[in-house]
Amino acid sequence: MEYVQERIATLHEFGNGDEGPGSGLAREAAAAVAETAVVVPMTGREYESPAAERVLGELERLEPAPAAVFVPVRAEPGRIGPFREWLGSFALPTRVLWCNAPGVDAVLADAGLGGEFGKGRDVWLALGPAADVADAVVVHDADARSYEAAHVHRLLAPLTMDFDFSKGYYARVERGRLYGRLFRLFYEPLLRSLADAHDAPIIDYLGAFRYALAGEFAASSHLARRLRAPRAWGLEVGTLGDAYDVAGFGGSAQVDLGRHEHDHRAVAGDTGLEGMSREVAATLLGVLEEHGVDPEYETLSKRYRATGKELIDQYRADAAFNGLEYDPAAERDQVSRYAESIAPPGLDTRLPRWIDAPFTPADVLAAARPWRERRVGSRSQD
Any long-range contacts for 346-353 (C-beta under 8 Å, 24+ apart)? 346/282, 348/286, 349/115, 349/116, 349/230, 349/231, 350/228, 350/229, 350/230, 350/231, 350/238, 351/113, 351/120, 351/121, 351/124, 351/228, 351/229, 351/231, 352/113, 352/228, 353/225, 353/226, 353/227, 353/228
Tens of each residue's pLDDT in the chain, 382 residues: 689 999 999 999 887 544 444 556 667 888 899 999 999 999 999 999 999 999 999 999 999 999 999 999 999 999 999 999 999 999 999 999 999 999 999 999 999 999 899 999 999 999 999 999 999 999 999 998 889 999 999 999 999 999 999 999 998 898 899 999 999 999 999 999 999 999 999 999 999 999 999 999 999 999 999 999 999 999 999 999 999 999 999 999 999 998 888 777 888 888 889 999 999 999 999 999 999 999 999 999 999 999 999 999 999 999 999 999 999 999 999 999 999 999 999 999 999 999 999 999 999 999 998 774 444 334 556 6
C-alpha closest to that of 120 among 52, 37, 41, 51:
41
What is the predicted pLDDT for the residue at 370? 79
Q: What is the reported pLDDT for 263?
A: 74
Domain ranges of the chain: 7-172+213-263, 173-210+265-345
CATH fold of 7-172+213-263 reads: Spore Coat Polysaccharide Biosynthesis Protein SpsA; Chain A (3.90.550)
48 and 84 Cβ atoms separated by less than 8 Å: no
pLDDT of 376: 34
